[in-house]
Amino acid sequence: MDEATKQVFKAKFIMLTVMLNVIVLCFAMGVFVLFRYAPQGTFGLAIGLLLLVIGAVVSVSFRKKYARTKVWLHEQP
């Protein structure tokens, strides 16, 4: 793998890592907010559900980017 390809891979890897961290944090915070604040009112329920939806949307995007990156990586000499 040449230096330019390594730099592209490094950028793709960092992006996937950040996305995965966002997914984990959104789901963890969403579940926490739902259990802690949802019984007290609708504001906690709305925030918890919003975090879970954001986590799900980023998960779908992550899977697509991961699949494309994996194919790209296998195509490299």
Q: What does the pLDDT average to over 62-72?
A: 96
Distance CA 36, CA 10 (A): 38
Q: pTM for the full model?
A: 0.87
pLDDT in tens, 14-44: 999 999 999 999 999 999 999 998 888 889 8
Round to whole Å and give the CA distance between 1 and 6. Answer: 7
Average pLDDT, whole number, for the chain? 94
User: Would the pLDDT of 1 be above 80?
Assistant: no
Q: What are the distances in angstroms from CA 30 to CA 37, 50, 53, 75?
A: 10, 8, 9, 38
